[in-house]
Amino acid sequence: MFRKNALIVSALLAGFACAAPAQDLTGKYTRTPTGYLMVLRHGDDVIAHLERLAVVERIPSASILGIGFMREATFGFYDFAKKAFDPKTFKDVELANLTGSIAWKEGKPSIHAHGIVTDGSFIGAGGHLLGLTVGTGSCEITVLLHPPRLERFVDPAIGANVLGLYPGAK
């Protein structure tokens, strides 16, 4: 009996260790007439904070814009043959532009964002954002609300996520 209980406790603890921590939004955003303004600081995970904001504020859909200094920015170029992103990470870069949207997929927030980063040589890189971690300073993100709850779905013709322009669109 002890061994069975120990295995159950170990499995539960492993599950907790793998789960992403909830992003604390305290003091990191404010309501505006058109949506929200979010200011993230050193070490904050931009995508996770946007997902958390969508859940907490019940955002039906939105457009996002942002700038800031990133400790790390990971972009992906989608390989349609492999049906996967080829990632590339850049460190200690300025986020010159973040543009994207918030929608929903299978009951969870779905962030689709692209961006451009530059380094000290002023050479830029950009594309589909897979991950962003704020560096020294901050990251400012404007969230512009849209009234309908929009959903993403996999378009079978291309095998990639697309945004439905009306609720339940497929």
Domain ranges of the chain: 23-163
Comparing 8 with 24, the larger pLDDT belongs to: 24
Q: Which CATH code fits 23-163?
A: 3.30.1330.80
Q: What is the pLDDT of residue 1?
A: 41
Tell me how far apart the terminal alpha carbons of the chain are, to the nearest angstrom. Answer: 50
Q: Which among 43, 142, 133, 45 is positioned nearest to 93, based on CA atoms?
A: 133
pLDDT digits (tens, 9 = 90+) for 39-68: 999 999 999 999 999 999 999 999 999 999
pLDDT digits (tens, 9 = 90+) for 87-109: 999 999 999 999 999 999 999 99
Token pair 């009234």 is found at 147
Q: What is the pLDDT of residue 21?
A: 55
Helix, coil or strand: residue 122:
coil
Q: Please report, as a single letter, which amino acid is at residue 18.
A: C
* Residues 80, 83, 86, 89, CA torsion sign: positive
> What does pTM read for this prediction?
0.84
Q: What percent of the chain has pLDDT over 70?
A: 84
User: What is the arithmetic mean of pLDDT over 120-131?
Assistant: 96
Comparing 80 with 17, the larger pLDDT belongs to: 80
